Amino acid sequence: MNRYFFVAPFYDLLKRISFGDALNNATINYMSELSEYKDFLIVGGGSGISLPQFNQDQNIQFIDSNASMIARAKKRKTNAAVHYHAIRFEAFDTNQKFDVICFPFFLDLYNQNEATSILDRAKSLLNDSGRLVVTDFYSIKKLSNWRQKLLLRTVIVFFNITTWHRHSKIFNIPNTIKASNFQCINLKEFANGMVFASLWKKAEH
Ligand SMILES: C[S@@+](CC[C@H](N)C(=O)[O-])C[C@H]1O[C@@H](n2cnc3c(N)ncnc32)[C@H](O)[C@@H]1O
């Protein structure tokens, strides 16, 4: 059974209690900028908070391994054509190439080596002129303020208990994306520097 099964009904509420609108604002930060792009892959999309941002010319493959999250996402109003997949990304089989791939609070579920494999797969699914959008937490090490460290630790411990979230240590995600041969176009901080939203393209050699 998926680790988010039990927390799905109140996951959005927990996010809001802990961080207000900051996590959702980070997730949708680049959506208006990407309105000309057509084919999107959203991985670990949860209850689909970004879906209302899309227009009628956009096609979305929306993946989440938790059927309960997918059921919630299906209730969101959106103008885009959305195909929902209750499946693990690792098992998602496709020949399609995408203009944009989004990882909203998804890479932190993995350790650094696993995330590198996920990023390699993303690179192979992305068109050469495509964009990668990653929203996630910074590693606790990067935070200078003890209150932020405490809040992030508390959130991680809480989600470990409620969702069997595997990793209590979040690695340096932006550096790992860079090391996977992506070039950063833009990075913006949210939640007083605890969270980043970032836009990437394939690095040119
Ligand atoms: C931290 S939650 C983020 C949800 C949403 N993106 C948000 O920001 O509210 C991670 C999501 O990834 C899903 N998930 C976990 N492992 C997955 C996998 N291997 N493939 C696809 N989705 C997965 C979980 O069910 C959960 O909905």
Does 1 reside within a domain? Answer: no
The CATH number covering residue 122 comes to 3.40.50.150
Output phi, psi for 136, to 5 deg.
Answer: -170, 180
Which residue is closest in CA terms to ligand 1's atom 16?
A: 65
Q: Is the CB of 130 under 6 A from ligand 1?
A: no
Gap between the Cα atoms of 12 and 33, Å rounded: 25
Q: Is the CB of 200 under 6 A from ligand 1?
A: no
Q: Is the CB of 172 under 6 A from ligand 1?
A: no
Does 3 reside within a domain? Answer: no
For 85-95, how does the pLDDT look when each residue is reduced to its tens digit (9 = 90+)?
A: 999 999 999 99
Whole-structure pTM value: 0.92
Does 75 reside within a domain? Answer: yes
For 59-91, how does the pLDDT look when each residue is reduced to its tens digit (9 = 90+)?
A: 999 999 999 999 999 999 999 999 999 999 999
How confident is the model at residue 3, as a pLDDT? 61
Which residue is closest in CA terms to ligand 1's atom 14?
A: 44
Domain containing 157 equals: 8-202
For 16-28, how does the pLDDT look when each residue is reduced to its tens digit (9 = 90+)?
A: 888 889 999 999 9
Number of structural domains (the chain) is 1
Two structure tokens written together for 80: 């885009």
How confident is the model at residue 192, as a pLDDT? 85
Gap between the Cα atoms of 180 and 86, Å rounded: 27
Q: Is the CB of 48 under 6 A from ligand 1?
A: no
Rounded to 5°, the CA angle 87-64-157 comes to 120
Q: Is residue 164 over pLDDT 60?
A: no
